[in-house]
Amino acid sequence: MLGVRGVPVPEREEDFAADAGELFFDLVFVFAFSQLVSHLVNHPTWAGAAEFVLLFTMVWLPWTQFTWSANAVAGNSRPVRLLFLVATVASIPMAASVVGAFAAGGAAFALSASVILAMGLFTMISGLSDDPVVRASIVRYSIPNWIAIGLMVGGGFLPFVLRVVLWSGAMVIVIAGTIGAGQSEWLVRPGHFAERHGLIVIVALGEVIVALGLPLTNALADNEGVAPASLLALVAAGVFAGLLWWGYFDRPLPALEHRHETLEGGHLRGRFARDVYTYAHYPLVAGVILSTAGLKTITLHPLQRIALPSLVHLGAGLVLYLLGVVLAVVRAFGALAVERLVAAVVLVAVIAAVARLDGVVVLMAVDAVLLAMLVVEHHRVEHLARTVPMSRVTRARS
């Protein structure tokens, strides 16, 4: 049996960058996220949205488990790299079977996701054999996960209703396990956590780029020119992607990483990583994927009135994205990102107000709201930094 015992674990104070094996692993999630977008577009109903939530959860939790494992165990050792490569291979059928997960692809999806989750647990348990305290924490945490894995696999072979019940129960068990693990001691490196979650946000934003490129690709394939409306939609979609990028990477991500570094003790850093990254980034990344489903329709039909499901995808996705940042900031600093909450309300109102107009107009209105939010937030934070002592600005709840 392949193990990673004897692999040197860096000192607790030693941080490190994401390894190439981790980046390679993330590439499969580009495919998985694109399949989730396709599921939303092909199932524009409340049932389809509920299925998206369950499927995304089943994709997110194995990914985040491997992130925790790679954070604790050095990812640049050959045994760990090999485990990542095996997990990457297992991720491909998972991603490919997303759209058929509630039909004939259920077994393949469940088996693949279960293998990834199990390998993440195995990597951490084996790699931390020389750290009995942290290893005991992961062993305790793994027990409900093994139960969840059994439910996931079993559900993949059952009819639709029972499949949903077992998969939902498995996800509840995994999440309950993360809540119970909050009092345990963990090995956490803040810089690596920030980088890994920044990368998965980039992966999600990559779907925005794919969506905005579809009109140009289709036009060129049909030997047609790019209509002015399509070109305008491409520009508006590019601005949209840039604003989402700026709204996360300019201030929130560096601030969260810095706050994480100030915490001392594995239990405090562990709870912070769980709440800010595993939990708060869940709606953030899901929101980007959800909004992409709406964006895809707009870029394909810029001069048409957008159907209600696509408007809901766009609006709900943006609200989730903004609330994810709000939750992370509240947890990290005990402060409220007021502009983001206001923007979430304004975006819903604006989308509803211009819903009868062409899709490109809707997208331009959304861009205007996001830009205004970032400008107002920038000026408020800059003013706060000049007038409030830094010790008060950075004080937060542990």
Q: In the prediction, which pLDDT does 149 show? A: 96
Distances (CA, A) of 264 to 189, 259, 280: 11, 11, 21
Can you name the residues that pair with 305 across neighbouring β-strands?
A: 358
Q: How far is Cα 299 from Cα 316, in angstroms, rounded to an integer? A: 18
Contact 124, 181 (CB under 8 A): no
**CA 168 to CA 304: how far, in whole Å?**
38
Rg (CA), the chain: 21
pLDDT at 169: 97
* Cα(180)–Cα(310) distance, integer angstroms: 38
pLDDT digit string (tens) for the chain, length 398 residues: 334 455 555 565 566 777 888 888 898 898 999 999 999 999 999 999 999 999 999 999 999 998 888 887 866 667 778 888 888 998 999 999 999 999 999 999 999 999 999 988 888 887 776 667 777 888 888 899 999 999 999 999 999 999 999 999 999 999 999 998 877 778 888 999 999 999 999 999 987 777 666 656 766 666 666 678 778 888 898 899 999 999 999 999 999 999 999 998 778 999 999 999 999 999 999 999 999 999 888 887 888 888 999 999 999 999 999 999 999 999 999 999 999 999 999 999 999 999 889 989 999 999 999 999 999 999 998 888 778 665 444 443 33
Position 43: which residue type? H
At 2 the pLDDT is: 38
Q: How far apart are CA 317 and CA 310, in angstroms?
A: 10
What tokens were used for 93? 């059928």
pLDDT of residue 154: 96
Give the pLDDT confidence score for residue 398 in this predicted structure: 38
Domain boundaries, the chain: 20-183, 191-394
In a 3-state reduction of DSSP, which class is residue 358? strand
pLDDT at position 389 = 60
Say what the pLDDT of residue 215 is: 58
The helices-and-strands tally (H runs, E runs) of the chain is: 15, 0
Instruction: Determine the Cα–Cα distance for residues 251 and 245; give it in Å rounded to an integer.
Output: 11
pTM over 0.85: yes
